[in-house]
Chains A and B, each alone.
Chain A
Amino acid sequence: MAKETILIVDDEKNILDLYDQELQDEGYSTFLAQNGKECLEIIKNEALDLIVLDIRMPKMDGLEAIGNIIDINNKIPIIINSAYSNYKDDFMSWAADAYVVKSYNLDELKKTIKEVLQKKKSSV
Protein backbone atom coordinates (compact mmCIF):
# COMPACT_ATOMS: atom_id res chain seq x y z
CA MET A 1 0.00 0.00 0.00
CA ALA A 2 1.23 3.48 -0.87
CA LYS A 3 2.15 5.75 1.98
CA GLU A 4 -0.42 8.30 3.01
CA THR A 5 0.70 11.84 2.36
CA ILE A 6 0.39 14.64 4.87
CA LEU A 7 1.02 18.34 4.31
CA ILE A 8 2.30 20.10 7.43
CA VAL A 9 1.83 23.87 7.51
CA ASP A 10 3.59 25.84 10.24
CA ASP A 11 5.69 28.99 10.24
CA GLU A 12 8.16 27.74 12.86
CA LYS A 13 10.96 25.83 11.25
CA ASN A 14 11.75 23.68 14.32
CA ILE A 15 8.11 22.59 14.60
CA LEU A 16 8.07 21.64 10.93
CA ASP A 17 11.25 19.60 11.43
CA LEU A 18 9.90 17.89 14.52
CA TYR A 19 6.54 17.00 12.89
CA ASP A 20 8.28 15.94 9.70
CA GLN A 21 10.48 13.50 11.59
CA GLU A 22 7.75 12.15 13.84
CA LEU A 23 5.19 11.64 11.06
CA GLN A 24 7.70 9.97 8.79
CA ASP A 25 8.51 7.64 11.66
CA GLU A 26 4.80 6.83 11.79
CA GLY A 27 5.01 5.74 8.16
CA TYR A 28 3.56 8.79 6.40
CA SER A 29 5.19 10.73 3.62
CA THR A 30 5.19 14.50 4.11
CA PHE A 31 5.17 17.89 2.44
CA LEU A 32 6.08 21.05 4.32
CA ALA A 33 4.86 24.64 3.99
CA GLN A 34 5.56 27.72 6.09
CA ASN A 35 2.43 29.76 5.41
CA GLY A 36 -0.99 29.59 3.77
CA LYS A 37 0.27 30.72 0.38
CA GLU A 38 2.88 27.95 0.14
CA CYS A 39 0.24 25.53 1.37
CA LEU A 40 -2.12 26.43 -1.50
CA GLU A 41 0.64 25.96 -4.08
CA ILE A 42 1.31 22.44 -2.81
CA ILE A 43 -2.39 21.57 -2.77
CA LYS A 44 -2.69 22.61 -6.40
CA ASN A 45 0.21 20.38 -7.46
CA GLU A 46 0.31 17.35 -5.19
CA ALA A 47 -2.04 14.53 -4.23
CA LEU A 48 -2.56 14.80 -0.48
CA ASP A 49 -4.45 12.75 2.07
CA LEU A 50 -4.45 15.23 4.95
CA ILE A 51 -3.38 18.72 5.99
CA VAL A 52 -2.12 19.68 9.45
CA LEU A 53 -2.60 23.43 9.61
CA ASP A 54 -1.24 26.03 12.03
CA ILE A 55 -3.25 29.23 12.38
CA ARG A 56 -0.91 32.09 13.26
CA MET A 57 1.39 32.44 10.28
CA PRO A 58 2.70 35.31 8.15
CA LYS A 59 1.51 35.99 4.58
CA MET A 60 -1.67 33.95 4.83
CA ASP A 61 -2.88 32.56 8.13
CA GLY A 62 -4.51 29.19 8.58
CA LEU A 63 -8.09 30.41 8.84
CA GLU A 64 -7.75 32.41 5.67
CA ALA A 65 -6.19 29.41 3.98
CA ILE A 66 -9.07 27.07 4.87
CA GLY A 67 -11.62 28.80 2.63
CA ASN A 68 -9.18 28.70 -0.24
CA ILE A 69 -8.22 25.07 0.41
CA ILE A 70 -11.89 24.07 0.21
CA ASP A 71 -12.25 26.07 -2.95
CA ILE A 72 -9.32 24.27 -4.62
CA ASN A 73 -9.97 20.79 -3.27
CA ASN A 74 -12.82 20.10 -0.91
CA LYS A 75 -11.92 16.45 -0.35
CA ILE A 76 -8.74 16.81 1.71
CA PRO A 77 -9.36 16.60 5.46
CA ILE A 78 -7.87 19.37 7.58
CA ILE A 79 -6.64 19.21 11.18
CA ILE A 80 -6.08 22.56 12.82
CA ASN A 81 -3.05 22.49 15.07
CA SER A 82 -2.73 25.75 16.94
CA ALA A 83 -1.11 26.72 20.21
CA TYR A 84 -4.34 28.51 21.07
CA SER A 85 -7.77 27.02 21.65
CA ASN A 86 -9.70 30.28 21.21
CA TYR A 87 -9.82 29.97 17.43
CA LYS A 88 -12.56 27.43 17.97
CA ASP A 89 -14.83 30.47 18.15
CA ASP A 90 -13.89 31.37 14.63
CA PHE A 91 -16.50 29.97 12.24
CA MET A 92 -13.88 29.15 9.65
CA SER A 93 -12.24 26.74 12.09
CA TRP A 94 -15.49 24.76 11.99
CA ALA A 95 -14.61 23.84 8.44
CA ALA A 96 -11.70 21.74 9.72
CA ASP A 97 -12.25 18.07 10.50
CA ALA A 98 -10.50 18.33 13.86
CA TYR A 99 -8.84 20.85 16.14
CA VAL A 100 -5.83 19.81 18.17
CA VAL A 101 -4.12 22.24 20.53
CA LYS A 102 -0.34 22.21 20.03
CA SER A 103 1.83 20.31 22.44
CA TYR A 104 5.36 18.92 22.25
CA ASN A 105 3.88 15.56 23.00
CA LEU A 106 2.46 14.56 19.64
CA ASP A 107 0.35 11.62 20.80
CA GLU A 108 -2.97 13.40 20.49
CA LEU A 109 -2.12 14.77 17.07
CA LYS A 110 -1.02 11.34 15.84
CA LYS A 111 -4.18 9.76 17.21
CA THR A 112 -6.35 12.39 15.53
CA ILE A 113 -4.51 11.95 12.22
CA LYS A 114 -5.28 8.23 12.35
CA GLU A 115 -8.95 8.84 13.14
CA VAL A 116 -9.44 11.44 10.44
CA LEU A 117 -7.71 9.30 7.80
CA GLN A 118 -9.80 6.31 8.87
CA LYS A 119 -12.98 8.36 8.59
CA LYS A 120 -11.93 9.59 5.17
CA LYS A 121 -11.38 6.01 3.96
CA SER A 122 -14.70 4.79 5.25
CA SER A 123 -16.60 7.68 3.63
CA VAL A 124 -15.20 6.98 0.16
Chain B
Amino acid sequence: MKKVLAMILAGGKGERLYPLTRDRAKPAVPFGGTYRIIDFTLSNCVNSNLRKIYVLTQYKSLSLDRHIQKSWSFLNNRVGEYVYLTHAQQRINENWYKGTADAIYQNFYTIQEEKPDLVLILSGDHIYRMDYRELIDSHLRNNADLTVSTIEFDKNHSKEFGVIETNNKNRITGFQEKPARPKTIEGKPESILVNMGIYLFNTDILIKRLIENAKKTDTNHDFGKNVIPAMLKTDKIYSYSFSGRNRTNYWRDVGTIEAYYEANMDLLKNTESDSLLNSNWPNYTAEEQAPPARITGRKSRDNIQYGTVVNSIISRGCDLDNSAVKDSILSPHVTAGEYSTIESSILLDNIKIGKECSIKNAIIDKGAVIPDGTVIGYDNKKDAGLYTISESGIVVIPKNTEF
Protein backbone atom coordinates (compact mmCIF):
# COMPACT_ATOMS: atom_id res chain seq x y z
CA MET B 1 0.00 0.00 0.00
CA LYS B 2 1.23 3.48 -0.83
CA LYS B 3 1.90 5.86 1.99
CA VAL B 4 -0.17 9.00 1.53
CA LEU B 5 0.18 12.26 3.42
CA ALA B 6 -2.75 14.68 3.35
CA MET B 7 -2.00 18.40 3.49
CA ILE B 8 -4.95 20.71 3.91
CA LEU B 9 -4.50 24.34 2.91
CA ALA B 10 -6.26 26.44 5.51
CA GLY B 11 -4.46 29.73 5.17
CA GLY B 12 -6.85 31.81 3.11
CA LYS B 13 -8.03 35.11 4.52
CA GLY B 14 -11.62 34.57 3.42
CA GLU B 15 -12.19 38.25 2.80
CA ARG B 16 -15.39 37.63 0.87
CA LEU B 17 -16.85 35.86 3.88
CA TYR B 18 -16.42 38.93 6.05
CA PRO B 19 -17.62 39.51 8.82
CA LEU B 20 -17.76 35.77 9.53
CA THR B 21 -13.98 35.75 9.05
CA ARG B 22 -13.36 38.81 11.19
CA ASP B 23 -12.09 36.70 14.08
CA ARG B 24 -11.35 33.36 12.46
CA ALA B 25 -9.83 31.68 9.42
CA LYS B 26 -12.28 30.63 6.72
CA PRO B 27 -12.04 26.87 7.43
CA ALA B 28 -13.04 27.56 11.05
CA VAL B 29 -16.33 29.23 10.10
CA PRO B 30 -19.21 27.20 11.57
CA PHE B 31 -21.37 25.33 9.08
CA GLY B 32 -24.51 23.22 9.05
CA GLY B 33 -25.45 23.60 12.70
CA THR B 34 -22.71 21.76 14.55
CA TYR B 35 -19.76 21.66 12.14
CA ARG B 36 -16.93 23.87 10.99
CA ILE B 37 -16.22 24.11 7.27
CA ILE B 38 -12.95 22.16 7.61
CA ASP B 39 -14.73 19.21 9.25
CA PHE B 40 -15.97 18.08 5.84
CA THR B 41 -12.49 17.76 4.35
CA LEU B 42 -11.07 16.24 7.53
CA SER B 43 -13.94 13.75 7.70
CA ASN B 44 -13.33 12.81 4.09
CA CYS B 45 -9.72 12.04 5.01
CA VAL B 46 -10.58 9.95 8.03
CA ASN B 47 -13.40 8.11 6.30
CA SER B 48 -11.06 7.42 3.36
CA ASN B 49 -8.63 5.93 5.87
CA LEU B 50 -6.07 8.71 5.36
CA ARG B 51 -5.04 9.50 8.89
CA LYS B 52 -1.81 11.39 8.53
CA ILE B 53 -3.01 14.92 8.11
CA TYR B 54 -1.35 18.30 8.25
CA VAL B 55 -3.42 21.46 8.31
CA LEU B 56 -1.47 24.47 7.04
CA THR B 57 -2.62 27.70 8.61
CA GLN B 58 -1.44 31.25 8.83
CA TYR B 59 -3.98 34.03 9.45
CA LYS B 60 -6.27 34.18 12.48
CA SER B 61 -5.65 30.56 13.31
CA LEU B 62 -6.56 30.56 17.00
CA SER B 63 -10.15 29.52 16.48
CA LEU B 64 -9.07 26.81 14.04
CA ASP B 65 -6.38 25.60 16.47
CA ARG B 66 -8.89 25.27 19.25
CA HIS B 67 -11.39 23.47 17.08
CA ILE B 68 -8.86 20.95 15.81
CA GLN B 69 -7.63 20.25 19.32
CA LYS B 70 -11.12 19.87 20.70
CA SER B 71 -12.59 17.87 17.86
CA TRP B 72 -9.84 15.97 16.15
CA SER B 73 -7.64 14.68 18.93
CA PHE B 74 -9.42 11.32 18.72
CA LEU B 75 -6.98 10.14 16.07
CA ASN B 76 -4.52 7.77 17.66
CA ASN B 77 -0.95 8.95 17.63
CA ARG B 78 0.29 5.61 18.85
CA VAL B 79 -0.67 3.94 15.61
CA GLY B 80 0.57 6.80 13.47
CA GLU B 81 -2.69 8.69 13.08
CA TYR B 82 -2.77 12.45 13.58
CA VAL B 83 -4.04 15.85 12.59
CA TYR B 84 -1.27 18.38 13.11
CA LEU B 85 -1.52 22.09 12.59
CA THR B 86 1.47 23.79 11.11
CA HIS B 87 1.81 27.54 11.00
CA ALA B 88 4.07 29.37 8.60
CA GLN B 89 7.39 28.01 9.89
CA GLN B 90 9.66 30.49 8.15
CA ARG B 91 12.15 27.69 7.91
CA ILE B 92 12.86 27.93 4.18
CA ASN B 93 12.74 31.72 4.15
CA GLU B 94 11.23 34.51 6.16
CA ASN B 95 8.00 35.08 4.27
CA TRP B 96 4.35 34.39 4.84
CA TYR B 97 2.87 32.03 2.27
CA LYS B 98 2.80 33.68 -1.14
CA GLY B 99 0.35 31.19 -2.64
CA THR B 100 -0.90 27.62 -2.40
CA ALA B 101 2.27 26.18 -3.89
CA ASP B 102 4.47 28.30 -1.66
CA ALA B 103 2.59 27.02 1.40
CA ILE B 104 3.59 23.45 0.54
CA TYR B 105 7.12 24.51 -0.44
CA GLN B 106 7.55 26.17 2.95
CA ASN B 107 6.58 22.86 4.54
CA PHE B 108 9.10 20.71 2.72
CA TYR B 109 10.54 19.47 5.96
CA THR B 110 7.24 18.01 7.02
CA ILE B 111 7.05 15.96 3.85
CA GLN B 112 10.66 14.98 4.21
CA GLU B 113 10.13 13.64 7.72
CA GLU B 114 7.03 11.67 6.74
CA LYS B 115 8.53 10.25 3.53
CA PRO B 116 5.17 9.62 1.84
CA ASP B 117 4.90 8.08 -1.64
CA LEU B 118 2.04 10.40 -2.48
CA VAL B 119 0.98 13.80 -1.22
CA LEU B 120 -2.71 14.70 -1.33
CA ILE B 121 -3.24 18.45 -1.34
CA LEU B 122 -6.67 19.57 -0.23
CA SER B 123 -8.49 22.78 0.47
CA GLY B 124 -9.94 23.46 3.90
CA ASP B 125 -12.90 25.46 2.67
CA HIS B 126 -14.92 23.15 0.48
CA ILE B 127 -18.14 21.35 1.35
CA TYR B 128 -18.34 17.89 -0.20
CA ARG B 129 -18.11 14.21 0.47
CA MET B 130 -15.47 12.23 -1.36
CA ASP B 131 -13.72 8.91 -1.03
CA TYR B 132 -10.10 9.80 -1.74
CA ARG B 133 -9.25 6.12 -2.12
CA GLU B 134 -10.92 6.14 -5.52
CA LEU B 135 -8.81 9.11 -6.52
CA ILE B 136 -5.68 7.28 -5.35
CA ASP B 137 -6.68 4.12 -7.27
CA SER B 138 -7.23 6.14 -10.41
CA HIS B 139 -3.85 7.85 -9.99
CA LEU B 140 -2.04 4.52 -9.64
CA ARG B 141 -3.92 2.89 -12.53
CA ASN B 142 -2.96 5.73 -14.83
CA ASN B 143 0.61 5.67 -13.57
CA ALA B 144 0.24 9.42 -13.23
CA ASP B 145 2.65 12.00 -11.84
CA LEU B 146 -0.25 14.15 -10.75
CA THR B 147 -4.01 13.62 -10.65
CA VAL B 148 -6.37 16.58 -10.43
CA SER B 149 -9.90 16.02 -9.22
CA THR B 150 -12.48 17.63 -11.50
CA ILE B 151 -16.23 18.16 -11.59
CA GLU B 152 -18.62 19.00 -14.41
CA PHE B 153 -20.32 22.37 -14.15
CA ASP B 154 -22.51 24.40 -16.44
CA LYS B 155 -20.32 26.57 -18.68
CA ASN B 156 -21.94 29.73 -17.29
CA HIS B 157 -19.77 29.27 -14.20
CA SER B 158 -16.49 29.37 -16.13
CA LYS B 159 -15.41 32.76 -14.77
CA GLU B 160 -15.37 31.44 -11.23
CA PHE B 161 -13.08 28.45 -11.73
CA GLY B 162 -10.06 26.95 -13.38
CA VAL B 163 -11.29 25.06 -16.44
CA ILE B 164 -9.58 21.86 -17.56
CA GLU B 165 -9.26 20.23 -20.97
CA THR B 166 -8.65 16.51 -21.31
CA ASN B 167 -8.20 13.98 -24.07
CA ASN B 168 -10.42 10.91 -24.30
CA LYS B 169 -8.20 9.02 -21.84
CA ASN B 170 -8.67 11.66 -19.11
CA ARG B 171 -5.16 12.98 -19.59
CA ILE B 172 -5.13 16.73 -19.00
CA THR B 173 -4.10 18.70 -22.06
CA GLY B 174 -4.86 22.28 -21.11
CA PHE B 175 -5.80 24.78 -18.41
CA GLN B 176 -7.76 27.99 -18.56
CA GLU B 177 -7.94 30.23 -15.51
CA LYS B 178 -11.44 31.69 -15.08
CA PRO B 179 -12.01 32.01 -18.84
CA ALA B 180 -14.86 33.98 -20.38
CA ARG B 181 -14.86 31.55 -23.31
CA PRO B 182 -14.18 28.15 -21.82
CA LYS B 183 -13.36 24.95 -23.67
CA THR B 184 -16.38 22.74 -23.14
CA ILE B 185 -16.39 18.99 -22.66
CA GLU B 186 -16.33 16.99 -25.89
CA GLY B 187 -19.87 15.96 -26.71
CA LYS B 188 -21.27 18.21 -23.96
CA PRO B 189 -21.26 21.75 -25.36
CA GLU B 190 -22.95 23.21 -22.27
CA SER B 191 -20.58 21.69 -19.71
CA ILE B 192 -17.07 22.43 -18.49
CA LEU B 193 -14.63 20.43 -16.39
CA VAL B 194 -13.75 22.42 -13.30
CA ASN B 195 -10.59 22.12 -11.17
CA MET B 196 -11.68 21.31 -7.60
CA GLY B 197 -8.31 22.23 -6.07
CA ILE B 198 -7.65 18.64 -5.03
CA TYR B 199 -4.23 17.43 -6.14
CA LEU B 200 -2.58 14.05 -5.72
CA PHE B 201 1.15 14.20 -6.44
CA ASN B 202 3.95 11.69 -6.54
CA THR B 203 6.19 13.12 -3.86
CA ASP B 204 9.37 13.49 -5.90
CA ILE B 205 7.58 15.26 -8.74
CA LEU B 206 5.88 17.59 -6.28
CA ILE B 207 9.19 18.58 -4.71
CA LYS B 208 10.94 19.13 -8.04
CA ARG B 209 8.14 21.26 -9.45
CA LEU B 210 7.83 23.32 -6.30
CA ILE B 211 11.54 24.11 -6.35
CA GLU B 212 11.28 25.14 -9.98
CA ASN B 213 8.35 27.35 -9.14
CA ALA B 214 10.18 28.90 -6.18
CA LYS B 215 12.97 29.94 -8.54
CA LYS B 216 10.63 31.81 -10.82
CA THR B 217 9.75 35.43 -10.33
CA ASP B 218 6.77 35.96 -12.65
CA THR B 219 4.49 33.68 -10.67
CA ASN B 220 1.75 33.80 -8.05
CA HIS B 221 3.13 30.55 -6.57
CA ASP B 222 -0.28 28.99 -7.09
CA PHE B 223 -0.91 25.35 -8.04
CA GLY B 224 -3.86 25.97 -10.35
CA LYS B 225 -2.46 29.07 -12.03
CA ASN B 226 1.27 28.37 -12.26
CA VAL B 227 2.72 25.08 -11.08
CA ILE B 228 0.33 22.65 -12.75
CA PRO B 229 -0.04 24.39 -16.12
CA ALA B 230 3.79 24.47 -16.29
CA MET B 231 3.83 20.68 -15.82
CA LEU B 232 1.79 19.96 -18.95
CA LYS B 233 4.87 19.54 -21.11
CA THR B 234 6.93 17.44 -18.74
CA ASP B 235 4.60 15.32 -16.61
CA LYS B 236 1.68 12.93 -16.84
CA ILE B 237 -1.32 14.78 -15.42
CA TYR B 238 -4.66 13.03 -15.28
CA SER B 239 -8.16 14.16 -14.40
CA TYR B 240 -10.20 12.20 -11.90
CA SER B 241 -13.84 12.96 -12.56
CA PHE B 242 -15.88 13.43 -9.41
CA SER B 243 -19.05 13.68 -11.52
CA GLY B 244 -20.89 10.69 -12.83
CA ARG B 245 -20.50 7.04 -11.84
CA ASN B 246 -22.42 6.14 -8.73
CA ARG B 247 -21.27 9.12 -6.81
CA THR B 248 -23.16 12.04 -5.35
CA ASN B 249 -21.44 14.96 -6.92
CA TYR B 250 -22.12 17.73 -4.51
CA TRP B 251 -19.17 20.09 -4.16
CA ARG B 252 -19.21 23.74 -3.14
CA ASP B 253 -16.53 26.30 -2.55
CA VAL B 254 -18.09 28.43 0.18
CA GLY B 255 -15.97 31.48 -0.48
CA THR B 256 -18.68 34.14 -0.44
CA ILE B 257 -21.59 34.97 1.86
CA GLU B 258 -24.00 33.90 -0.89
CA ALA B 259 -22.27 30.56 -1.47
CA TYR B 260 -22.03 29.95 2.26
CA TYR B 261 -25.71 30.68 2.72
CA GLU B 262 -26.79 28.52 -0.21
CA ALA B 263 -24.63 25.56 0.82
CA ASN B 264 -26.06 25.69 4.33
CA MET B 265 -29.58 25.81 2.94
CA ASP B 266 -28.77 22.84 0.68
CA LEU B 267 -28.66 20.76 3.85
CA LEU B 268 -32.42 21.25 4.05
CA LYS B 269 -32.90 19.62 0.66
CA ASN B 270 -33.14 15.86 0.85
CA THR B 271 -30.93 14.99 -2.09
CA GLU B 272 -27.98 17.11 -0.99
CA SER B 273 -28.26 16.44 2.72
CA ASP B 274 -28.34 12.69 2.12
CA SER B 275 -24.88 12.95 0.72
CA LEU B 276 -23.51 15.35 3.33
CA LEU B 277 -25.23 14.33 6.54
CA ASN B 278 -24.96 10.60 6.38
CA SER B 279 -24.08 8.23 9.17
CA ASN B 280 -22.30 5.87 6.78
CA TRP B 281 -19.87 8.69 6.09
CA PRO B 282 -19.95 10.56 9.37
CA ASN B 283 -18.75 14.10 9.70
CA TYR B 284 -16.78 14.40 12.88
CA THR B 285 -16.80 17.51 14.98
CA ALA B 286 -16.62 18.72 18.59
CA GLU B 287 -18.49 16.52 21.02
CA GLU B 288 -20.06 18.59 23.66
CA GLN B 289 -22.58 17.76 26.32
CA ALA B 290 -25.80 19.70 25.99
CA PRO B 291 -29.44 18.95 26.60
CA PRO B 292 -31.49 17.93 23.57
CA ALA B 293 -33.17 20.67 21.60
CA ARG B 294 -36.46 21.70 23.16
CA ILE B 295 -39.38 23.29 21.38
CA THR B 296 -42.13 24.31 23.76
CA GLY B 297 -45.45 26.14 23.72
CA ARG B 298 -48.46 25.94 21.44
CA LYS B 299 -49.89 29.45 21.34
CA SER B 300 -51.09 31.09 18.16
CA ARG B 301 -51.48 34.74 17.27
CA ASP B 302 -52.22 36.62 14.03
CA ASN B 303 -52.65 33.34 12.16
CA ILE B 304 -49.19 32.14 13.15
CA GLN B 305 -48.91 28.92 15.09
CA TYR B 306 -46.02 29.18 17.55
CA GLY B 307 -44.10 26.35 19.13
CA THR B 308 -43.35 25.10 15.62
CA VAL B 309 -40.34 24.16 13.55
CA VAL B 310 -40.65 23.60 9.82
CA ASN B 311 -37.94 22.44 7.39
CA SER B 312 -35.00 23.27 9.65
CA ILE B 313 -31.98 21.94 11.48
CA ILE B 314 -32.11 22.46 15.23
CA SER B 315 -28.95 21.57 17.14
CA ARG B 316 -28.49 20.38 20.70
CA GLY B 317 -29.00 22.83 23.48
CA CYS B 318 -31.48 24.99 21.58
CA ASP B 319 -34.45 26.14 23.60
CA LEU B 320 -37.28 27.69 21.63
CA ASP B 321 -40.18 28.90 23.70
CA ASN B 322 -43.37 29.56 21.79
CA SER B 323 -41.52 30.72 18.73
CA ALA B 324 -41.79 29.75 15.06
CA VAL B 325 -38.81 28.55 13.02
CA LYS B 326 -38.94 27.92 9.30
CA ASP B 327 -36.28 27.06 6.67
CA SER B 328 -33.45 27.79 9.06
CA ILE B 329 -30.33 26.28 10.58
CA LEU B 330 -29.74 26.73 14.29
CA SER B 331 -26.39 25.90 15.87
CA PRO B 332 -26.20 24.70 19.48
CA HIS B 333 -27.56 26.82 22.33
CA VAL B 334 -29.78 29.20 20.43
CA THR B 335 -32.67 30.39 22.53
CA ALA B 336 -35.72 32.35 21.44
CA GLY B 337 -38.57 33.87 23.41
CA GLU B 338 -42.32 34.04 22.91
CA TYR B 339 -43.81 35.13 19.60
CA SER B 340 -40.47 35.37 17.84
CA THR B 341 -40.20 34.17 14.23
CA ILE B 342 -37.03 32.96 12.53
CA GLU B 343 -37.19 32.38 8.82
CA SER B 344 -34.61 31.48 6.14
CA SER B 345 -31.77 32.25 8.51
CA ILE B 346 -28.55 30.75 9.84
CA LEU B 347 -28.02 31.25 13.56
CA LEU B 348 -24.67 30.25 15.00
CA ASP B 349 -23.95 29.15 18.57
CA ASN B 350 -25.11 30.81 21.77
CA ILE B 351 -27.49 33.38 20.38
CA LYS B 352 -30.14 34.78 22.65
CA ILE B 353 -33.22 36.06 20.89
CA GLY B 354 -35.75 37.91 23.01
CA LYS B 355 -39.52 37.99 22.71
CA GLU B 356 -41.46 39.15 19.66
CA CYS B 357 -38.43 39.33 17.37
CA SER B 358 -38.75 38.84 13.61
CA ILE B 359 -35.67 37.55 11.81
CA LYS B 360 -35.49 36.70 8.14
CA ASN B 361 -32.72 36.13 5.54
CA ALA B 362 -30.03 36.63 8.13
CA ILE B 363 -26.76 35.05 9.20
CA ILE B 364 -26.13 35.80 12.85
CA ASP B 365 -22.69 34.97 14.18
CA LYS B 366 -22.03 33.46 17.59
CA GLY B 367 -22.98 35.07 20.85
CA ALA B 368 -25.30 37.81 19.63
CA VAL B 369 -27.88 39.02 22.12
CA ILE B 370 -31.00 40.26 20.39
CA PRO B 371 -33.40 42.27 22.51
CA ASP B 372 -37.19 41.95 22.56
CA GLY B 373 -39.00 43.26 19.52
CA THR B 374 -35.98 43.41 17.15
CA VAL B 375 -36.76 43.18 13.44
CA ILE B 376 -33.99 42.00 11.07
CA GLY B 377 -34.20 41.23 7.36
CA TYR B 378 -37.51 42.86 6.49
CA ASP B 379 -36.28 46.25 5.40
CA ASN B 380 -32.96 46.23 3.53
CA LYS B 381 -32.62 50.00 3.59
CA LYS B 382 -32.94 50.19 7.32
CA ASP B 383 -30.72 47.15 7.85
CA ALA B 384 -28.04 48.56 5.56
CA GLY B 385 -27.44 51.38 8.00
CA LEU B 386 -26.85 48.94 10.84
CA TYR B 387 -25.38 45.70 9.48
CA THR B 388 -23.37 44.14 6.66
CA ILE B 389 -25.65 43.17 3.78
CA SER B 390 -24.53 40.81 1.03
CA GLU B 391 -25.16 41.40 -2.67
CA SER B 392 -28.30 39.30 -2.62
CA GLY B 393 -29.64 40.95 0.52
CA ILE B 394 -28.59 38.58 3.29
CA VAL B 395 -28.05 40.44 6.54
CA VAL B 396 -24.89 39.43 8.39
CA ILE B 397 -24.47 40.23 12.08
CA PRO B 398 -20.94 39.82 13.48
CA LYS B 399 -19.88 37.78 16.45
CA ASN B 400 -20.89 38.90 19.93
CA THR B 401 -22.96 41.82 18.69
CA GLU B 402 -24.95 43.43 21.45
CA PHE B 403 -27.74 45.72 20.50
Binding site for B on A (CB under 8 A): 64, 67-68, 70-71, 74, 89-92, 94-95
Residues in A neighbouring B216, C-beta threshold 8 A: 74
Which one of B19-27, B90-98, B253-261, B372-380 is at the A interface?
Answer: B90-98
Tell me whether A71 and B111 are in contact (CB under 8 A): no
User: Does B369 touch A at the CB level, under 8 Å?
Assistant: no
Q: How far apart are A89's CB and chain B's nearest CB, in angstroms?
A: 8
Tell me whether A92 and B93 are in contact (CB under 8 A): no
Tell me which of A71, A89, A95 contacts B95 (CB under 8 A). A71
Q: Given A70-B214, A74-B214, are A91 and B111 neighbors across the interface (CB < 8 Å)? A: yes
User: Does B208 touch A at the CB level, under 8 Å?
Assistant: yes
- CB closest chain-B residue, reference A96: B211
Q: Please measure, in the bound complex, the distance between the C-alpha atom of A94 and the C-alpha atom of B216, giving whole angstroms.
A: 15
Tell me whether B215 and A92 are in contact (CB under 8 A): no
Pick 29 A–B contacts, CB within 8 A, sort by A. A64-B91, A67-B91, A67-B92, A67-B93, A68-B92, A68-B93, A68-B94, A70-B214, A70-B215, A71-B92, A71-B93, A71-B95, A74-B215, A74-B216, A74-B217, A91-B108, A91-B109, A91-B111, A91-B112, A91-B207, A91-B211, A92-B92, A92-B108, A94-B207, A94-B208, A94-B211, A95-B211, A95-B214, A95-B215
Q: Please measure, in the bound complex, the distance between the C-alpha atom of A100 and the C-alpha atom of B95, giving whole angstroms.
A: 30
Residues in A neighbouring B93, C-beta threshold 8 A: 67-68, 70-71
Q: Please measure, in the bound complex, the distance between the C-alpha atom of A71 and the C-alpha atom of B91, giving whole angstroms.
A: 12
Tell me whether B94 and A71 are in contact (CB under 8 A): yes
Q: Please measure, in the bound complex, the distance between the C-alpha atom of A64 and the C-alpha atom of B93, giving whole angstroms.
A: 8
Given contacts A70-B215, A95-B211, 9 further A-B contacts (CB under 8 A): A64-B91, A68-B93, A71-B94, A74-B214, A74-B216, A74-B217, A91-B207, A94-B207, A94-B211
Residues in B neighbouring A64, C-beta threshold 8 A: 91
Q: How far apart are A124's CB and chain B's nearest CB, in angstroms?
A: 14
Residues in A neighbouring B207, C-beta threshold 8 A: 91, 94
Residues in B neighbouring A74, C-beta threshold 8 A: 214-217
Q: Mark B112-152, 1 if CB is under 8 A from A, else 0.
A: 10000000000000000000000000000000000000000
Q: Please measure, in the bound complex, the distance between the C-alpha atom of A22 and the C-alpha atom of B390, giving whole angstroms.
A: 69
Q: How far apart are A80's CB and chain B's nearest CB, in angstroms?
A: 13
Q: Please measure, in the bound complex, the distance between the C-alpha atom of A71 and the C-alpha atom of B262, giving whole angstroms.
A: 42
Q: Please measure, in the bound complex, the distance between the C-alpha atom of A45 and the C-alpha atom of B112, giving whole angstroms.
A: 33
Residues in A neighbouring B109, C-beta threshold 8 A: 91
Q: 7 tightest CB-CB pairs across the interface, nearest first? A: A67-B92, A71-B93, A74-B215, A95-B211, A91-B108, A67-B93, A91-B207
List CB contacts (< 8 Å) of B204-243 with chain A: 207-208, 211, 214-217
Q: How far apart are A51's CB and chain B's nearest CB, in angstroms?
A: 14
Residues in B neighbouring A67, C-beta threshold 8 A: 91-93
- CB closest chain-A residue, reference B207: A91
Q: Please measure, in the bound complex, the distance between the C-alpha atom of A68 and the C-alpha atom of B106, giving whole angstroms.
A: 11
